[in-house]
Amino acid sequence: MAETRKIRVTLTGSLIGRLKQHRNNVNGLGLRKIGDSREILATPANMGMVRKAEFLLKVEELQ
């Protein structure tokens, strides 16, 4: 089985007044409040959600 990378995403900006697509992507990553962090697998689907709302997120690669 191939190793998968993990990333930590942290919500740094408010979702108030954002497009519904951006809010849905952030919620899909499991982030609810400013400052929430989650460790997720760097799959193509997850990375697509991160790219859509990257201006609201801080992304760190884990090892």
What pLDDT is recorded for position 23? Answer: 97
| 51 part of a folded domain | yes
Contact indicator for 32, 24 with CB cutoff of 8 Å: no
Q: Which residues fall within 8 angstroms of residue 53, CB to CB, at 6 or more apart?
A: 18, 22, 25, 26
pLDDT band at 52 (very low <50, low <70, confident <90, very high): very high
| 44 part of a folded domain | yes
pTM of the model: 0.89
pLDDT band at 22 (very low <50, low <70, confident <90, very high): very high
Q: Is the pLDDT assigned to residue 26 strictly greater than 90?
A: yes
Q: What angle do CA 15, 62, 44 make, to 5 degrees?
A: 65
- Split into its structural domains, the chain has a count of 1
| 27 part of a folded domain | yes
The DSSP call for residue 33 is S
| 58 part of a folded domain | yes
| 1 part of a folded domain | no
> Residue 45 belongs to what domain range?
6-62
